[in-house]
Amino acid sequence: MNHDPVFEFSEHFDGEFLRRMSGDNIKNILAIFEKDYSVVSDLIKTTQTCMELADWMEAVRNIHRLKSAFFNLRNKALSEELRKLEHRIFRAVFLSLPDDESAFSPEASDIIASFHRMQLEILAHLPIIHAEIDRMHVYLSHPQRGR
């Protein structure tokens, strides 16, 4: 009978997908979580600054990176919200930029407000991600693992 500890992801993550994506290698999943976790806070800050400065191209790049991070972390709902915001900015700014940029102001304000709502959701997920990273570290350091 096999008594090796088995890592089970918490209900916040799609463990089946993560195992398939990594070839069931927890070290690879941990590396992805740590990389994405380490950049999220900075991406939030720089995206907010970009929006305040109306640097929409850089804002879209940062939102794309946030979207990718949350896709990797298997938060489908947040990843989808970020995808919609990314497309909304692209449509509003790059496809229909008015000659008079002041006409864009109401849309820009609404986009920024949407991002602020998502920002709160993202910040609420950071402790959950960090806890899962800690759990993977404990699992990988277990003395019976791999026997």
Q: 147 or 26: whose pLDDT is higher? A: 26
Q: What is the pLDDT of residue 147?
A: 42
pLDDT digit string, tens, across residues 117-139: 999 999 999 999 999 999 999 99
Q: How far is CA 40 from the centre of its chain?
A: 7
In the chain, the domains with their CATH numbers are 15-140 (1.20.120)
Q: Which residues have CB under 8 Å from 76's CB, separation 6+? A: 14
Mean pLDDT of 94-113: 68
Q: Which residues have CB under 8 Å from 38's CB, separation 6+? A: none
